[in-house]
Amino acid sequence: MSLERRAFGLQAESRAERYLRRKGYRILERNARSSSGELDLVVERDGVLVFVEVKARRTDAYGGGPYAVDHRKQGRLIRLAAQYLARRRVRDRACRFDVVLLQEEGKGLHQIEHIENAFDVPGDDLRW
């Protein structure tokens, strides 16, 4: 990944974090890493643990929010969240997956779309 692309991603994560704080979310972790990958943000609000995937786009050429996280990425996020919960011995906690999509318009990131409960864990009520 190029330095420019990485900087763009870090800027998007910072913007998403500020946005979520303003909406009343408490930031628990940013870039929570494991051997399998990374969760962009882990936040909490109203007793619900939320795993947030941040997507930044320079153009809308690849579609908007509904296309931001495909089934393959969803599966990876579910596995990462399960590892996160197991490492921290978190049980019986309501969890969900959100996506924050940032769209660049001119200089900087201007448009933010927050998709709450962006996808479900098949066969589970999002409690681990």
Domain ranges of the chain: 3-119
User: How large a percentage of the chain has pLDDT more than 70?
Assistant: 83
In terms of C-beta density within 10 A (0-12 exposed, 13-18 middle, 19 or more buried), how is residue 53 classed?
buried
pTM, 2 dp: 0.87
43-77: pLDDT as tens digits: 999 999 999 999 988 766 666 555 678 989 999 99
In 3D space, the residue among 11, 15, 43 whose CA is nearest the CA of residue 27 turns out to be: 43
Fold of 3-119: Trna Endonuclease; Chain: A, domain 1 (3.40.1350)
The pairing of beta strand 109-119 with beta strand 95-104: antiparallel
Query: Residues of the chain whose pLDDT is less than 70?
Result: 1, 59-67, 106-109, 123-128
Which residue type, as a one-letter code, is found at position 36?
Answer: S
Query: What's the angle, vertex CA 98, arms to CA 108 and CA 90, rounded to 5?
Result: 130
